[in-house]
Structure 1
Amino acid sequence: MPQLIELGNKADMLEQLSIIQQLYPDYTLEIYGDLLDKMIPHNYKQLIVVENGITMGLAGFWIGTKLWCGKYLEMDNVVVHEDFRSKGIGSIMTNYLNQKAIDENCNMIALDAYTTNFGAQKFYMNHGFVPKGFHFVKYLK
């Protein structure tokens, strides 16, 4: 039976480098650690799904407040280990974070999915998410 664990400190998150590298193959321990140093002070945490000592899935998340929506939970960098895809791991993490948002009295859950990632779009729509708008970016580097 998979176990859900919330991570809040850098040392525990650094142990998850190999699954993070499934999203960002070029990340080294140094790059990942530097980013965590900047993110953790802003309430960044991770949820992992573990079974037999193997991380099957990881979802970063933040709880924050914005003018347009009030208190919210944002899911960030959700990844299911390639060996465990299509086995319900994404649903386990999404359902857990949905309940966490309710327990934390959030008004909504937000996330970004790439416009080309149709599988993710379908997955999130099947879990009650709706597209609200566009997340525009302007690359500077």
Structure 2
Amino acid sequence: MITIELIDNKKINSIIPLLKILNTSISEETLEERLSDMIKEGYQCVGAFDNDKLIGICGLWILTKYYVGKHIEPDNMMILPEYQNQKIGSKMMQWIYGYAKNNDCVASELNCYINNKAAHNFWEKESYKVIALHFQKDL
């Protein structure tokens, strides 16, 4: 049975194996440091579990921006490959939408890598619209 719930901040490092699948170039030590900082800045993570096995994650930020108001930002969703195409991502998003509404969010917005066409398709099925480009500059 698949369950979806927030991952306790004390267990946040349990998501590192899934994050390593998303980006193999970031060391485990760096991920631990960044997650520690992110928790201090309000980061949360929802997990999908098959019994006690963590099979999917999606980071969450609740933010307020002048152009949209209070909203939730799903971040770095990852479902283990052997569990993909089973609607787990959609179930996680339904959970996230309910969580957002319970926290008085009026919208959801996210970033998605340009070359991740499978993710584009997923987010379009979730009724997200492309409204902007995300730019980044190394300092």
- For the criterion TM > 0.5, the same-fold answer is yes
The 4+ residue runs of structure 1 with deviation greater than 2 A are 26-29
What SS is found at the alignment partner of 2:55?
strand
Match of residue 57 from structure 2: 58
Shift of 1:44: 0.2
Q: Distance in 2 between matches of 1:14 and 1:27?
A: 14
What SS is found at the alignment partner of 1:57?
strand
What is the TM-score of this pair, normalised by structure 2? 0.92
Per-residue displacement from partner, 1:10-61 (whole Å, max 9, x unpaired)? x311122211111122344321110012111111000000013211110000
Identity over aligned residues, as a percent?
Answer: 25
What SS is found at the alignment partner of 2:90?
helix
The answer as to whether partners of 1:56 and 1:89 remain within 8 angstroms in 2 is no
Residue 134 of structure 2 is aligned to residue 135 of structure 1: yes
Q: Distance in 2 between matches of 1:30 and 1:118?
A: 30
Aligned residues: 139
What SS is found at the alignment partner of 1:46?
strand
Residue 2 of structure 2 is aligned to residue 2 of structure 1: yes
Shift of 1:90: 0.8
What stretches of structure 2 of length at least 5 have no aligned partner?
none
Match of residue 71 from structure 1: 70
What's the Cα RMSD here? Answer: 1.3
Letter in 1 for 2:78: V
The answer as to whether partners of 2:3 and 2:51 remain within 8 angstroms in 1 is no
Q: Distance in 1 between matches of 2:90 and 2:25?
A: 27
Q: Distance in 2 between matches of 1:131 and 1:43?
A: 25
What SS is found at the alignment partner of 2:22?
coil
